[in-house]
Amino acid sequence: MSIHTATISWALEPGADFPKGHYSRAHTLSFDGGVTAAGSASPAVVPLPWSDPAGVDPEEMFVAALSACHMLTFLDLARRAKFVVTRYTDPAEGLMLKDANGRQWIGVVTLRPDIAFAGDAPDEATLTALHEAAHHACFIANSVRTDVRVEPALQDSPEGSPLGLPA
């Protein structure tokens, strides 16, 4: 068992009108390794000027956590299968939905990994199996009810084929 921490810090700014909702949602996110990032409510949820589009919002962090966990698990599984990954890019996307009770939630997260390999690369079936295994072993995906979909890029990319084969 392990413990993972994050400290979220926010303070009411002078001149803000908290009862009317006229206050900044900007805050800081500090992680146990020493990284601190700017956070905010999403401008899609809380309008400007009460949100900060430069800050990372909780919905983005959720999508990023799923994507990063999948990537890290995939990299380990690919290494164990003797494949050498040289690049991994995932323009992941989360879709906000309403449930049957009208509550908003991130109902679908789609991961679209585009991966390059050096040397021998997995064929499409092996690549799909690696992604499926990574998805089922991902700690974050195992912790949520969101439908997490993995749609790896299978077309050529500017740096060559995602499978590492010559373009």
Please answer whether residues 139 and 65 qualify as being in contact, where contact means their C-beta atoms are separated by less than 8 angstroms: no
Calculated CA dihedral for residues 124, 128, 130, 131, nearest 10 degrees: 140
Let me know whether 74 and 144 are in one domain.
yes
Let me know whether 44 and 79 are in one domain.
no
Let me know whether 2 and 84 are in one domain.
no
Residue 158 covered by a domain: no
Helices (H), the chain: 58-80, 124-137
Q: Which of 60, 75, 85 is nearest to 164 (CA)?
A: 85
Let me know whether 25 and 82 are in one domain.
no
Give the pLDDT confidence of 15-37 residue by residue, as tens digits.
999 999 999 999 999 999 999 99
How big is the CA angle at 5 (ends 38 and 149), to the nearest 5 degrees? 75
Let me know whether 23 and 46 are in one domain.
yes
Let me know whether 43 and 118 are in one domain.
no
Tokens coding 145: 């009810």
Looking at residue 165, its pLDDT comes to 44
Per-residue pLDDT in tens (0 to 9) along the chain, 167 residues: 899 899 999 999 999 999 999 999 999 999 999 999 999 999 999 999 999 999 999 999 999 999 999 999 999 999 999 999 999 999 999 999 999 999 999 999 999 999 999 999 999 999 999 999 999 999 999 999 988 999 998 645 445 455 544 44
Please answer whether residues 141 and 93 qualify as being in contact, where contact means their C-beta atoms are separated by less than 8 angstroms: no
Residue 7 covered by a domain: yes
Looking at residue 159, its pLDDT comes to 52
Let me know whether 85 and 110 are in one domain.
yes
Let me know whether 36 and 74 are in one domain.
no
In total, how many domains does the chain have?
A: 2
CATH of residue 50 = 3.30.300.20
Residue 37 covered by a domain: yes
Burial 92-115 (b: 16+ CB within 10 A, else e): bebeeeeeeeeeebbeebbbebbb
Let me know whether 26 and 14 are in one domain.
yes
Instruction: Provide the domain limits for residue 39.
Output: 1-56
Looking at residue 167, its pLDDT comes to 41
